[in-house]
Structure 1
Amino acid sequence: MRLFTEETYLWYKEVPTDLVPGNYANPVDYFNVLKTPLLTPGGRPKDRFHFSYPTAKWEEMSKGGNLGYGTHWAQNGAVPRIWRLATVEPGSAADKAGLRRGDQLMKVNGEDFVNGTGAELVARFNAALFPVKAGEQHKLTVQRGAQIVEASMTSAVVMETPVRGVSVLDTPTGKVGYLLFSDHIGASENMLIKAITQLKDAGVVDLVLDMRYNGGGQLNIASELAYMVAGPAQTAGQTFELTTGNDKMKPKSPLLFKSTAVGYTAPDPAKPGQALPSLNLKRVSMLTSAGTCSASESLINGLRGIGVEVNLIGEQTCGKPYAFTPQQNCGVTYFTIQYQGVNAKGFGDYADGFAPTCRVADDFGRDLGDPAEGQLSAALQHRSSGSCPAMAQGTLIRSSAAAPALVPVRPMGKEISIIGL
């Protein structure tokens, strides 16, 4: 484990040298401390992305399978707890139980989730919200305005839909495309191709990418999407991202903007090598949050590297200009930071995230894709006027001194950039 770190970890020189393997109960515990203790300029831990998974679980996640109810939550990370439903997977237990975006979680199996404390109670919350096997039954109580809704659900493996909500918005200055993109997994490849083709055929002149809940994934997918946004004239021969490792690692060739599909294994796969459609845009709007991470940030950085105007509407992104190649050993898959990515201009210094062009809070009171939803509304206004709304939808515009935004509840394996898979 120490040798693996010494040879591949980006900041191997910063790992404490007095860590003794015999002081740890198992290899995973030892791996967990083999990282830099330093901080970013903004005061956050420099390495917030050091983790492992049982290999079987990781393989299921990579295919888009998640054990649960089809709920995706956003939370404040404190007590009293504020958990709001961000999205619900179509056809899932949550969808069938009538749960909706914006619902606030109040009780779990009849116990006070908002204010409940204590190790045993929190353990019961976790057991219900993150079931370990299919067939578990639990009851969630949510508040929707003045209404209380109870949902009794059975856990199952739910396959996520990473691309949805594709629509064309008519504006006085032309048609604007919108799509929600939530995960750079293999299944998203052909979904993105179909979505961009649909928008191209509709004659859109601008695009809003809703990536506020996208934690990253395959860099190849990000490169393909960047090409589909910018087109061949702006991307030909250009570097999308160059990943550099430590001084012991062999330099890698740059990842160029990919104009053809990889052909990832998926229920509805793209054909390997098929030409990708493109919108040939010189600007794009992206809806962001603290959950916009890793490969999603590579998309921002890669497009800016070739001069495409990328306007961020929402919250500061998470800050992960790093990548790794997962390493399997004895039934465990390990993730340790091995590379830092830079764009065609050589920029990659965003460990504290990208600041938004317009700071706008997530609007849980409206459906995603609704032109009146706070972030999308602000993006449309900025597109037409070049200015951020001073006020929109009550308190949706958040000052930098306001309470922190809600952040997605998700495993570390959903905040990644993966190279070479």
Structure 2
Amino acid sequence: MLLDLNEEERLLKEGLEQFAEGSIRPKIKPFVDRHEFPTELVREFLSLGFMGTAYDPDFAGGGLGTRGAAIVAETLARAEPGFAAIYLCNSAPMTVIARYGSDEVKKKWLEPLCRGDFIASFGVTEPSGGSDVASIKTRAVEDGDSFVLSGSKVFSTNAGTPLHGASTFVAVTDPELGPKGLSTFVVPVGTPGFKVGKPGRKIGWRIADSVELFLDECRVPKANMIGERGDGLKQILTTLSIGRILVGATGLGLARKAMDLAKSYGAGRKVGGVPIFKHQGLTFPLADALTKIHATELMIRNAACLADADRPFRLETSMAKLFATEMASEVADIALQVHGGYGAFEEYEVSGLLGEARVLRILEGTSEIQRLVIARELMA
């Protein structure tokens, strides 16, 4: 494992930081306050080519793999966690297409996603549950040269926004096979029977719309199936494992943001004529936080390196995701405490970080699911 960024990664990070400083930080607050998707800011981000960072250059990608994608998620989250959410939720459909799609499918769907022509959403979780894939009820029935999809998904981020062009759906094609009877399909926006619900207001990811999706006898060509029939479970597990690295990287960026805000506020704050950072009651928790941030960086980088090397990485991914997201909540809480009473007011940016961090402990598998994965690996 190498901690240092290579030249391409360094240039990527510099470009992202320029975008964050020039566009996200000075413009994002009104969108956060209104829980509004920042269409033009995302459009600008897409035009810079960052969305394709991880993927094959043959399909307009940057070729920097999961390591590169983690850099994108972390850097965006340090500016605005919700912006990182838009990126990582678009990465899920891109990942399943990139890893399992035929060249024809990649050409049709991955390439325009890498170019930034539109964004996509990933449909796995249903009203009846998320982590239990055996409970998936969405059906895909073969009919001639097509599959007809019926069902619904929830918490699908990026769907319904002005830039939404397609969604991927995991559906049951062979009920008698149980979890081995799942397959994945691309459904373009505008397909008859494909409808999008209204976004709700969340405590975190306030600029990233998450909605319910409905499929009512939605017909798509067989060519829209990603990979082989029955590969859905394998695709879900791999895509979630990659996603957990990016969620962990988002937690890392959020924690760095919390530390930035704590240091900035604390540097000029005095109590009884003494700078508050002279008090061990505040500096010791910050010292612990910085140590955990550094440990998280190592864990995220290690998991990303394993993923890019096509080595087993599910255990390392779950440990990194668990540690990073719980650490992010802890550091956000410390940063708010540094602000004292002011941390409770929405005018102070730190006030929103607890909600942003809390969401990370749920998606792509809750903390409890990560502990279950780790325990199973331990006992194997």
Under a length normalisation based on structure 1, what TM-score does the superposition of the two structures give? 0.26
Higher strand share: 1
Q: Kindly indicate which of the two structures has a greater share of residues assigned to helix.
A: 2
